[in-house]
Amino acid sequence: MKRIVILASGTGSLAEAIFNADFSEQGGEVVALICDQPDAQVLKRAEQRHVESYTIPMLPDREQWNKELETLIAALRPTLVVSAGFMRILPKEITSRFKIINSHPSLLPLFPGAHAVRDALAAGSHETGTTIHWVDAGIDTGQIIVQEKLAINSDESEESLHERIKIVERGLIVATIRRLLPTLES
């Protein structure tokens, strides 16, 4: 069985789309969630879906935290790690050891980082979208796997645009996982 481990930090709407998907045709299953926020709503969503979850709160010593995260990921033996709203930059030791994908709310390389939706609006963009990419040690710099465009309405707020992007993201991340799993070694 191909093992999927999810990394998430927030409310978990993207993670929930993955929890709810059936990857059995691709020989995969979601085996765990790792979260860095002890009070994150994603932990409740995982519990409701009977997904084993682990919390590793950020430590004052970032290197120690990185080592704890790497050790836990390794113990879970993932075929694929999916960053679904995990708001941490991962070090090269982790990104070079595991196959990790991320969903980002812009058409990379435009608007990397934590404020992509706000940045697209501030730049006066007429379109944005979502990107699924391989994770490297940079900030949203990994190889692009797939993108889907979305027009920006003239009266769009950051919140309304982000919600529309999330709808696209949920479908695209699940479709991408389904596409990738058959190509990955267990």
Token pair for 175: 């479709």
Q: How far is CA 37 from CA 29, 58, 86, 163, in A?
A: 24, 8, 10, 22
Identity of the residue numbered 74: A
Place of tokens 């609006």: 121
154 SS3 class: coil
Question: In residues, how long is the chain?
Answer: 186
Q: Select which of 104, 115, 126, 133 is catalytic.
A: 104
Active site residue 104: yes
Name the pairing type of β-strands 80-83 and 53-55.
unpaired
Cβ–Cβ under 8 Å, residues 83 and 176: no
Whether omega for the bond prior to residue 91 falls within 30 degrees of 0, making it cis, is: no
Cβ–Cβ under 8 Å, residues 144 and 108: yes
Residues with a catalytic annotation lie at 104
